[in-house]
Amino acid sequence: MVHLYYDSRTGNVQRFINKVVQITGWQAHQIADDIDVPEAGHLVTYTTKIGSMPDKTVAFMNAYAEKIFSVTSSGNRNWGRNFGLAADKVSENYDVPLAMKFELSGTMEDINQFIDIIKNQYNDSKRGSKKLDIA
Per-residue pLDDT of 79-131, as tens digits, reads 889 899 999 999 999 999 999 999 999 999 999 999 999 998 755 444 444 44
- Domains parsed from the chain with CATH numbers: 3-122 (3.40.50.360)
Per-residue pLDDT of 37-80, as tens digits, reads 989 999 999 998 888 899 999 999 999 999 999 999 999 898 88
Count the alpha carbons within 13 Å of 26 in the hemisphere toward its beta carbon: 25
